[in-house]
Structure 1
Amino acid sequence: MGSAPDDSGDDGTSYAPLFGPGSQFHAFFNDPRWALAMVRATVLEAAHPQIGAALIDNSTFVAHPWRRLKNTFLSMQRMFGADEQVRLREAARLNRLHARLQGTGAGDRPYDALDPAVRAWVVATLFESAVTMCRLSGQPFEQQAMEQLYAEFRAFLTAMGDEAGHLPEALADFWPYFDQVVERELENTEAMRIILFKLFDHLPAPPVFSGFPALWATGRALAGPVIGAITVASLPEPFRRKAGLPEIAGAQSVMQGAYLAAGLARFLPDGWIQSAGIVNLLATSPHSDDPRARTITALGDQMKRAGALLRLLAPLPTQPQPDPAGGAAARRSAQEFFAEVLDQTGDGYLDWPDLAAMAREIAGRLDLDEPEETRLYDAYAAWWRELQAALDADGDGRVSIDEYAAAVPALAGPALIRVAEVLFDVTDRDGNQHIDAAEHRALFQTAFHRDTTHSGGTYTRSAFINEFLSFMSGRLRTTPYDPLLAEA
């Protein structure tokens, strides 16, 4: 679906565009309050049994939350931007992704990410949370603006190929629909509890701040419970009662203060608060060529030197230090590699959703269409069957960390080599059997930091495949593959 005309209709009525500049959604896309609203919407989504089950089984939001944040943000940019072709392409990609998310959750209840009623609920939570964020920050929507925003979200649903009728046509009918879903369908799901009570308390540092573990842990310990309390306080009261969520004294005041403060931040000069810039910075590897990452890395080095001086003045008990000779090529233990790379969903096991998450991340970075995307998924599926046959000693359909550690050499079989070959093929967009700097950057989103004196600035097929196999089977830490598959 394209944008509505922004001049006038046949009756002379003026219309605002449904997508891109001039739309209501575009007006608050960089609004700091949107961060709080997105967390709230995610909790309401996760409370739906089908969505909660799909998140538990397939999502990387526990192990790789910052990656998921960036991917979600990029997808919303594409869907709500002005370019209709980009929107249609992204909608097709999302539909292919959702078609792969089917299964059985808790209580043997099936879930299907293509269920139109479920997809309508996702859109409903985004709209309702946007309205709520404005109300809580003391600047509620005017009726006409709210009607326009609702039309934009219904247009988003239509762009996905669903009937907009799965959301009520009139805004007045939306609120009874929303209340009915909250009352009859939402539950205290495991996914919702993880987001509220575990995710923020254990949130790993974003890649760009990975060099400050102590500082991050201290800030997280203070901010995590506050974010959880703010989110709980902002949820609909009937759902809070139904789910048995705790009432924390003063949480309502803290929540309103947080929304008010975030609302005031939007009056900062243009460019100070830009969602795209913040999200990209958080997801940037400290080894990238981004000037902001280099600045943070330099600051970290200065802080480490200052810390070393303080330890000289007031020595602390000796702590084990990493091997300084390891560098970027240091080997991981089997347990570290399992947790950081293989267990993409963070449930403590290796199974198909973990490898599907790897394929999904690569396909998203390269913006693959059919049939390349299917080739990549098929290669990973074949690798999973090979791993399951070789490592699943107890036959429970998944691989535990102990099973992996006991049979590590079996990881590098023919199917993994096939994954490497397909990865090369889909990265080599021009088909010239070499990966040049632009193709390399498209996959790894970082500088082309390689010794290219012997290859004219390109990767040969064998060199590319060998590096991938060295990472996956040798458990080596590498500058390109860690940001792609290991970092949060």
Structure 2
Amino acid sequence: MSRLDEHGELFNDPRWALALIRATVLEAAHPQIGAALVDHSSFVTHPWRRLRNTFLSTQRMFGPDDEVRRRESARLNRLHARMNGTDAQYRSYSAMDPDARAWVVATMFESAVTMHRLSGQALEQAAMERLYSGFQAFHTALGDDAGFLPPTLHEFWPYYDRVVEEELENTEAMRIILYKLFDHLPAPPLLAGLPTLWGTGRAIAGPVIGAITVASLPESFRRRAGLPETPGAQTLMNGTYLAAGLARFLPGGWVHAQGVADLLALSPDSDDPRMRTVTALREQMKRAGALFRLITPVPAEPVPAQPAPAGGTGTRRSAEEFFEEVLDQTGDGFLDWPDLAAMAREMSTRLDLDEPEETRLYNAYADWWRELQTALDTDGDGRVSAEEYAAAAPALAGPALIRVAEVLFDVTDKDGNQRIDADEYRALFRTAFRRDTVDATGVYTRGAFMKDFLTFMSGRRRSTPYDPLLTEA
């Protein structure tokens, strides 16, 4: 068993969900990481997608297969190499900055240690040494210089305290996570049709999660960042961590992170056998939702329009709806390169692409962005606003978008036989073929695939396969 494999079960511990939120806040408080999150990440508009992809990546990196780990490390490095720019204070940033990458590993390790301490099971020195060794191996597996992470646990704590005291800031990304994300967290696909219950639960849980997270942060940073501490938050935090720790004693699989993540990602139209049970439960929850509407003041959120059958024959979106739901992947109110890069990233992740296929897909999206910018950026600010898009009411099926469709078909068609079979279709859309998708021979042809994709992207029509791919939270 490798040093990485030894700690893989940490990420299935129910307490890790709380620790991961804490680690993410500490990462976002680092100026380099915070700027990259604000400019490039879709964590605000697609948090469940981001969570699922992060969990999958962690499982690969801490799993038993060295080849899987090598491929995932290479994929992460390609992804991070594409994230760079200048922040609001005109400071350059890069997701490949070695200090920032070492800090990500440091926050994960320190939050794991804190997780055990807050739940009344503080790690002994030897166990802490082994855990640190595992995270050092993770850092090394990413290909980073070991010198950026302290070589011993004894040297780690002064390093951690120094970064907290001297480098962390009250960044925009950190404020979004603490005060916006949980208050406006969209429902996961599984619960998208239950807005009243979701809104009620979020109104209660959101502030609690935020208060617990703030209370768990280093006290010196809380003071310096001006983060308010809710009265009783420390007691609530300890009780929550303790309760999460007790969940480990439930029957095996009940709170297994992989199973929970997979279940939350199921869309209502999924062909997963578990959906039969979930559908019956949803009907009971809808009845409960009707009761909630009578006895609570929490306003119901609008129920999202249901996608129509595959093939692009669904209801048409307005330009404003299409811009908000599909094009603006980062949720900043504008269309620019990070939005299209997020599309390419999601499709590359689902298809588990290696080079050169991944770069081909990114390049196709980059060409489409340049075409959109030339056609729609009327004020020359380097991005497209919702107003600019709506005013132009463009027919987007230009040469660059057609090229995106061609490349997406090629990288989905793993065996290169110019047709997408059931397994290839499921890899991209995570569901089985629809009857109106396949031709008489039972395959999805190149022409049909491109027609459906272009109808969705340029015709702004809702589509059963493409809506989950690009619009679900």
Asked if TM exceeds 0.5, the reply is yes
* C-alpha distance in structure 1 between counterparts of 2:111 and 2:277, whole Å: 35
* C-alpha distance in structure 1 between counterparts of 2:430 and 2:306, whole Å: 27
Alpha-carbon spacing, 1:304–1:81, altered in 2? closer, same or farther (3 Å): closer
SS at match of 2:89: helix
* C-alpha distance in structure 1 between counterparts of 2:433 and 2:170, whole Å: 46
Instruction: Check the 8 A contact 2:376/2:388 in 1, yes or no.
Output: yes
Amino acid at match of 2:230: I
Matches within 5 A, 1:379-418: 379-418=364-403
Alpha-carbon spacing, 1:216–1:425, altered in 2? closer, same or farther (3 Å): same
Match of 1:13 in 2: none
SS at match of 2:138: helix
Aligned Cα RMSD in Å?
2.2
Offset at 1:37? 0.1
Match of 1:369 in 2: 354
Q: 1:1-44, CA deviations, whole angstroms, 9 ceiling, x for partnerless residues?
A: xxxxx5xxxxxxxxxx3022xx1x22422110000000000000
SS at match of 2:394: helix
Where does structure 2 lack aligned partners over 5 or more consecutive residues? 295-300
Alpha-carbon spacing, 1:474–1:156, altered in 2? closer, same or farther (3 Å): same
* C-alpha distance in structure 2 between counterparts of 1:323 and 1:142, whole Å: 53
Matching residue within 118, 124, 130 for 2:106? 124
SS at match of 1:103: strand
Match of 1:140 in 2: 122
Match of 1:482 in 2: 467
Match of 1:462 in 2: 447
Matches within 5 A, 1:21-420: 23=6, 25-301=7-283, 303-304=285-286, 329-420=314-405
Q: 1:119-160, CA deviations, whole angstroms, 9 ceiling, x for partnerless residues?
A: 000000000000000000000011111000100101111101
Matching residue within 421, 425, 444 for 2:429? 444
Instruction: Check the 8 A contact 1:387/1:410 in 2, yes or no.
Output: no
Q: 1:93-134, CA deviations, whole angstroms, 9 ceiling, x for partnerless residues?
A: 000011101111120011111111110000000000000000
Alpha-carbon spacing, 1:433–1:178, altered in 2? closer, same or farther (3 Å): same
Offset at 1:300? 2.8
* C-alpha distance in structure 2 between counterparts of 1:163 and 1:218, whole Å: 47
Give the TM-score normalised by structure 2: 0.94
Instruction: Check the 8 A contact 1:412/1:469 in 2, yes or no.
Output: yes
Match of 1:435 in 2: 420
* C-alpha distance in structure 1 between counterparts of 2:360 and 2:463, whole Å: 25
* C-alpha distance in structure 1 between counterparts of 2:220 and 2:306, whole Å: 55
* C-alpha distance in structure 2 between counterparts of 1:374 and 1:283, whole Å: 27
Give the TM-score normalised by structure 1: 0.91
Q: 1:75-110, CA deviations, whole angstroms, 9 ceiling, x for partnerless residues?
A: 000000010000000000000011101111120011
* C-alpha distance in structure 2 between counterparts of 1:214 and 1:183, whole Å: 42
Match of 2:3 in 1: 18
Alpha-carbon spacing, 1:118–1:447, altered in 2? closer, same or farther (3 Å): same
Greater Rg over alpha carbons, structure: 1
SS at match of 1:50: helix
* C-alpha distance in structure 2 between counterparts of 1:288 and 1:104, whole Å: 41
Where does structure 1 lack aligned partners over 5 or more consecutive residues? 1-5, 7-16, 313-318
* C-alpha distance in structure 2 between counterparts of 1:250 and 1:453, whole Å: 58
**Greater relative contact order (Cα < 8 A, sep 6+):** 2
Offset at 1:412? 2.0
Match of 1:471 in 2: 456
Offset at 1:321? 9.5
Alpha-carbon spacing, 1:133–1:306, altered in 2? closer, same or farther (3 Å): closer
Q: 1:19-73, CA deviations, whole angstroms, 9 ceiling, x for partnerless residues?
A: 22xx1x2242211000000000000000000000000000000000000000000
Instruction: Check the 8 A contact 1:351/1:399 in 2, yes or no.
Output: yes
Instruction: Check the 8 A contact 2:308/2:462 in 1, yes or no.
Output: no
* C-alpha distance in structure 2 between counterparts of 1:337 and 1:292, whole Å: 31
Instruction: Check the 8 A contact 2:44/2:331 in 1, yes or no.
Output: yes
Offset at 1:392? 0.9
Alpha-carbon spacing, 1:413–1:267, altered in 2? closer, same or farther (3 Å): same
Instruction: Check the 8 A contact 1:208/1:293 in 2, yes or no.
Output: no
Aligned length: 464
Alpha-carbon spacing, 1:160–1:308, altered in 2? closer, same or farther (3 Å): closer
Instruction: Check the 8 A contact 2:438/2:444 in 1, yes or no.
Output: no
Offset at 1:323? 8.9
Q: Which is worse superposed, 446-455 or 378-387?
A: 446-455
